[in-house]
């Protein structure tokens, strides 16, 4: 498969001018991002990777980080994790509070904010220094030490993060949060502030295409049965109330973030990341979704 040629076609045929959404502004720091940014990178082997545009520029990965923290929580808790968080699509916006009341404080899945905050609680509870350990995990699976938190984005989100703070308090009232609110929120805002490029994200996500093996050195750091579960969750819950649409259009497991990034994988074939900061009304990158739809159309393969 000539992936570079396919990516070049996507680059030449698609542009930010084709979409009508807006850059995220509820986190003030994210509103400053240039809406014209567009990059894509695909890895299918250690020395086989292809990209275009702004694929080497780092951006705020936001909710894509929920996949990394879920990996760590699954490694710590095993199947007991599913007593604290469910595995069903929510059909609701990522920051919704409504289902929690009816469902006794058990979030629908680990990728909506409520679920990711329960995961944060677990990591804060079990790890000596959760922020450092998350950073080392992400660097390890990427095979790249050049990954950092963006303190400005983390404190910008903290200044407007009332819904997330409400979610943690509410779940604490319902008995599904163990630690204090502040360290959970601090960890969560930091994980969302991680800065990575499309190239780094595609490389990191090769563990989900490669049954848990780190691309850089072949080290197996996730058990295949855990990878199977994470890929299933990305397929069914990776795009909130647009998970069905993403499956329908693209046909790959994936995860988005309000920084405009999307990562998707084709098991045993490739991992691909795309970045365009203009979001649709569901909080997913509009051009990113279109570019991935084009990728699976031009390659003629998806998981379906």
Binding residues for substrate: 63, 113, 157, 164, 188, 240, 258
Stretch that binds ligand DON, among 31-39, 140-148, 226-234, 256-264 (CB under 6 A): 256-264
192 lies in the binding site for ligand DON (CB under 6 A): yes
Cβ distance to ligand DON smaller for residue 212 or 283: 283
Cβ distance to ligand DON smaller for residue 1 or 31: 31
Cβ distance to ligand DON smaller for residue 72 or 215: 72
Binding mask 164-183 for ligand DON (x = CB under 6 A): x-------------------
Shortest distance, position 176 Cβ to ligand DON, whole Å: 18
Q: DSSP 3-state assignment of 4? A: helix
63 lies in the binding site for ligand DON (CB under 6 A): yes
Cβ distance to ligand DON smaller for residue 131 or 211: 131
> Which residue is nearest to ligand DON, using beta carbons?
63
Sorted by sequence, the CB contacts under 8 Å of residue 61 that are 6+ apart come out as 192, 194, 195, 196, 201, 257, 259, 261
Token pair in block for residue 66 = 């929920």
Question: Could you say which of 53, 110, 257, 277 contacts ligand DON (CB under 6 A)?
Answer: 257
DSSP-derived secondary structure letter, 63: G
Letter string b/e over residues 217-253, b meaning 16 or more CB atoms within 10 A of that residue's CB: eeeeebeeebbebbbebbbbbbbbbbbeebbebbbbb
Token pair in block for residue 108 = 């629908």
Token pair in block for residue 112 = 């909506």
Question: Could you say which of 258, 265, 274, 278 contacts ligand DON (CB under 6 A)?
Answer: 258
94 lies in the binding site for ligand DON (CB under 6 A): yes
Q: Rounded to an integer, what is the distance from CA 98 to the centroid of its chain? A: 23
Question: Could you say which of 29, 157, 241, 293 contacts ligand DON (CB under 6 A)?
Answer: 157
Answer for the pair 253, 208: CB distance below 8 angstroms, yes or no: yes
- Between CA 205 and CA 123 the distance in angstroms is 21
Token pair in block for residue 83 = 């007593």
Q: Which residues bind ligand DON (CB under 6 A)?
A: 62-63, 94-95, 113, 157, 164, 192, 256-258, 283-284
């Amino acid at each position: 498969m000539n992936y570079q040629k396919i990516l070049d076609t996507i680059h030449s045929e698609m542009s930010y001018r084709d979409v009508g959404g807006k850059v995220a502004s509820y986190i003030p720091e994210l509103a400053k991002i240039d809406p014209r940014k567009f990059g894509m990178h695909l890895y299918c082997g250690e020395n086989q990777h292809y990209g275009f545009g702004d694929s080497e520029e780092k951006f705020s990965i936001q909710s894509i980080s929920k996949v990394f923290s879920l990996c760590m929580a699954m490694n710590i808790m095993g199947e007991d994790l599913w007593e604290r968080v469910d595995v069903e699509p929510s059909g609701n916006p990522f920051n919704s509070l409504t289902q929690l009341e009816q469902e006794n404080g058990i979030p629908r899945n680990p990728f909506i904010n409520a679920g990711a905050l329960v995961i944060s609680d677990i990591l804060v509870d079990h790890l000596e220094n959760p922020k450092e350990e998350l950073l080392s995990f992400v660097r390890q699976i990427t095979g790249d030490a050049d990954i950092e938190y963006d303190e400005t984005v983390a404190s910008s989100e903290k200044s407007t993060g009332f819904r997330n703070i409400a979610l943690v308090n509410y779940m604490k009232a319902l008995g599904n949060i163990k630690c204090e609110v502040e360290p959970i929120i601090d960890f969560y805002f930091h994980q969302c502030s991680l800065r990575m490029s499309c190239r780094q994200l595609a490389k990191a996500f090769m563990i989900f295409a490669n049954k848990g093996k780190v691309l850089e050195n072949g080290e197996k750091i996730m058990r295949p049965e855990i990878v199977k579960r994470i890929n299933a969750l990305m397929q069914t819950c990776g795009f909130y109330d647009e998970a069905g649409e993403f499956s329908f259009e693209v046909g790959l497991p994936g995860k988005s973030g309000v920084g405009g990034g999307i990562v998707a994988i084709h098991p045993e074939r490739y991992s691909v990341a795309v970045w365009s900061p203009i979001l649709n009304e569901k909080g997913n990158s509009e051009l990113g979704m279109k570019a991935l739809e084009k990728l699976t159309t031009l390659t003629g393969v998806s998981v379906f």
